[in-house]
Structure 1
Amino acid sequence: MAPLVQRRQISKDRFGIVFGSHKSQSYIDPLVRGAPSSLHRTISWNATGTLIATGSTDRTIRVWNPEIATSKSQIELRGHTQAVEKVLFNPTREFELVSCASDGTVRFWDTRSKVCTTKLDVGGEVFTLSWSVDGTVLVAGTKNDVLFPISTTSTPAILGRHPQTTQTNQTCFSNAYPPGDLLLTHSDGSVSIRSYPSFSTIHTLMAHTSSCTAIAYSPNGKYLAVGGSDALISLWDTTDWVCRRTLSNPTFGAVKGLSWSWDGRFIVGASEDVSSGDGAGMGSGGLEIYHAESGDVVYTVPTGTSGIPAVEWHPSRYWLAHSQIEASTGKSMLKVVGAAGVGLSI
């Protein structure tokens, strides 16, 4: 694995000035059978931040070099027969990518050889994936509320089948080595903390008044962020599981994605909702970046009148990748704020 770049923190007070000096670069899809680009529903950086993968409703996975914006720099991975719901790079192997789709399969890809190395048929419509931080375990979830842990230490293999009694939306692991706690969001507004691999419940958080739709564990281990269909992001202290603050904006739509900066100090959320507005929030013309400790908005990435289905911070720099739906055309594209040759290399 190539070494990560040297990390350099920016203070809260200077973040808006420094990050605001970045430009936003668009990455345009080639035409697919003569049709306009489809919706990029999911984004993932690889472990070294040298590649970005997107999964689309046209059943295609695309892998991009963030420093080259032309369509010739991207590769396509094909095999899914229905819309791709999630793509995730292995957190410890920079060229291993996993994807899932409504076709009931989880697929592992080698982005160097551009081939699917393993295909697992889990049954049902697979829509969510989460890696343990050491890359040894992957959990897949289906729309009929069944979770499938998958061992990835050698040839990927399904370890079991765990039906859930409550509608389960998204999952994530804690930062423990080896994997310990698995966190699940539910339609009743709760988050359950499960012991892995037993799946026994350790604790339950009543996080939101409506369905919890996104979840992300901070890299520094201090907070768990939970997004809901109530347009709120709640931040939970992982030492005592107390909600320290909520982040909100009246123009938010349902929070469909969350991402922490590499240092765990800044957080951003995604919403597919397309609406007109004044550029103040998700889905209304801007993408708000929050300072976790204060809850303050430190910068709003101008996006125009558009929805933001997916957003993801670079693993070691203050670069931000997001997909964007243009309200006037319905077209989707990938954008990166801060890539080398486009903005400052921080």
Structure 2
Amino acid sequence: MAPLLRPRYSLPKDKFSAYFGSLKSQAYVDTGATSRGLPNTNQHGLRSIAWNPLGTLVATGAADKTLRVWNPEKPSVRFSTELKGHSSSIEKVAFNPVKDAELASVSSDGVVKLWDVRTKACVNEVKGLGNANSLAWAPDGSSLLAGNKNGELFQLSPTQSAIVSTHQQPADTNQMAFCWGGGKVFVPTREGRIRILSYPEMEPAFRHNYAVMAGESSEFTLKGHTASCLTAELSPTGKYLATGGADSIIALFDTKDWLCQRTVSRLLGPVRNISFTFDGSYLVGGCEDGGTGLEITHTETGELVHTVKTAGPCETLAWAPTRYCLAYSDLGTLRIIGVDGDKK
């Protein structure tokens, strides 16, 4: 019998599979998708999943423009909240790191909306971001970064409808991540490199301390992929930066020396999403195609510790912020492992 697990208790890797394998996977079915002529398949297309800071709510954004906030303890859709207003595919959702009920969402038509999930109200909206595909909060919750497929990054305020500043990048960018101090942001690029920029200046944070060839940049970047780098995620401990690429690889960089310590190459498709457990001990990657399982990796060794069988590929996923509880998409449906779905 698996041990009872309290929040914030870390499991060693030799006990993780026995514990996590004993937990149930609960489906959270959006019955409205069927009524809209979208059967329970990838037509519904969950594009993003996010937990709020306390782990009491889960938000999902879908290709069919559906933005929904779920109570993980109550899987019936009648206990969820639909937030209406987007007119295009929702590419990313993210809760404010310091405000439990403030949610940001960005759609592919270049609109960012800020929501109060308690009242269902859209409290702010920023337009004109182009073909947007990425969104991240600064750790103190005072600002956001959004990006589009043309390499533009936009600094936004949660209380202003105008763009604060625009920063054109030399290469197309993908889903970025902040350092926990908020002074740096890690920006994956189509070239397969990861830029480390100061925030809010958006200038290179590090440069080489040796002479470079004529025409070459002195900017220090991380190199870990042979194809486009699609996402970056900093571990909760701040020890590792994980990056996922179109080459189906997850690279783990030590944030002290900025060396690639190890890679995870078991995935079968482009890595669109990476998530660490609350203690940073384990990580999992989401692929847009290929594979019928989620492979949970031990961060320090790169060992596979557990596989979650799925019906199809899982593009988006997120570990809960306080416990070993995993939310993921499977054939267009949200599923969560590790909550008591029988609670009423």
Quote the Cα distance in structure 2 between the aligned partners of 1:114 and 1:210.
40
CA contact under 8 A between 2:129 and 2:147: conserved in structure 1?
no
Q: In the alignment, what sits opposite 1:132?
A: 138
Q: In the alignment, what sits opposite 2:187?
A: 184
CA contact under 8 A between 1:25 and 1:342: conserved in structure 2?
no
Q: In the alignment, what sits opposite 1:267?
A: 283
Q: In the alignment, what sits opposite 1:245?
A: 262
Q: How many angstroms does 1:307 deviate by?
A: 1.1
CA contact under 8 A between 1:262 and 1:313: conserved in structure 2?
yes
Q: Deviations over 1:285-307 (max 9, x none)?
A: 21000000010011101113x01
What secondary structure sits across from 1:141 in the alignment?
Answer: strand
Q: Deviations over 1:128-185 (max 9, x none)?
A: 0011222122100012211001134x55653201011111112110111xx1011100
Q: In the alignment, what sits opposite 1:232?
A: 249
Equivalent residue for 1:43, pick from 41, 49, 58: 49
Quote the Cα distance in structure 2 between the aligned partners of 1:159 and 1:110.
21
CA gap 1:96/1:314 in 2 versus in 1, 3 angstroms: same
Q: In the alignment, what sits opposite 1:291?
A: 298
Q: How many angstroms does 1:309 deviate by?
A: 1.3
Aligned length: 319
Q: In the alignment, what sits opposite 2:177?
A: 172
Q: In the alignment, what sits opposite 1:66?
A: 72
Q: Does residue 110 in structure 1 map to residue 116 in structure 2?
A: yes
Greater per-residue strand proportion: 1
Q: Does residue 219 in structure 1 map to residue 236 in structure 2?
A: yes
CA contact under 8 A between 1:213 and 1:227: conserved in structure 2?
yes
Equivalent residue for 1:309, pick from 307, 312, 315: 315
Alignment of 1:86-125 (within 5 A): 86-125=92-131
Q: In the alignment, what sits opposite 1:20?
A: 21
Quote the Cα distance in structure 2 between the aligned partners of 1:155 and 1:18.
46
CA contact under 8 A between 1:216 and 1:226: conserved in structure 2?
yes
What secondary structure sits across from 1:19 in the alignment?
Answer: helix
Q: Does residue 75 in structure 1 map to residue 78 in structure 2?
A: no
- Residue 188 of structure 1 aligns with an amino acid whose one-letter code is E
Q: How many angstroms does 1:104 deviate by?
A: 1.4
Q: In the alignment, what sits opposite 1:279?
A: none
Q: Is 5-14 or 55-64 further displaced after alignment?
A: 5-14
Percent identity reads 44
Q: How many angstroms does 1:342 deviate by?
A: 6.2
Quote the Cα distance in structure 2 between the aligned partners of 1:183 and 1:68.
36
Tell me, which stretches of 5 or more residues in structure 2 are unaligned? 1-5, 207-219
Quote the Cα distance in structure 2 between the aligned partners of 1:256 and 1:35.
23
**TM-score, structure 1 as length reference:** 0.89
Q: How many angstroms does 1:57 deviate by?
A: 0.9
**TM-score, structure 2 as length reference:** 0.90
Q: How many angstroms does 1:53 deviate by?
A: 0.5
Q: How many angstroms does 1:29 deviate by?
A: 0.6
Q: How many angstroms does 1:284 deviate by?
A: 1.6
Q: Does residue 206 in structure 1 map to residue 223 in structure 2?
A: yes
Tell me, which stretches of 5 or more residues in structure 1 are unaligned? 274-282, 326-331
Quote the Cα distance in structure 1 between the aligned partners of 2:143 and 2:299.
28
Quote the Cα distance in structure 2 between the aligned partners of 1:236 and 1:320.
23
Q: In the alignment, what sits opposite 2:147?
A: 141
Q: In the alignment, what sits opposite 2:3?
A: none
Quote the Cα distance in structure 2 between the aligned partners of 1:231 and 1:323.
18
Q: How many angstroms does 1:35 deviate by?
A: 3.0
Quote the Cα distance in structure 1 between the aligned partners of 2:341 and 2:14.
25
Q: How many angstroms does 1:34 deviate by?
A: 3.8
Q: How many angstroms does 1:68 deviate by?
A: 0.8
What secondary structure sits across from 2:32 in the alignment?
Answer: coil
CA contact under 8 A between 1:192 and 1:204: conserved in structure 2?
yes
- The RMSD of aligned alpha carbons is 1.5
Q: Deviations over 1:167-209 (max 9, x none)?
A: 1112110111xx1011100111100101111111123111211
Q: Deviations over 1:215-240 (max 9, x none)?
A: 10011000000111111101000001
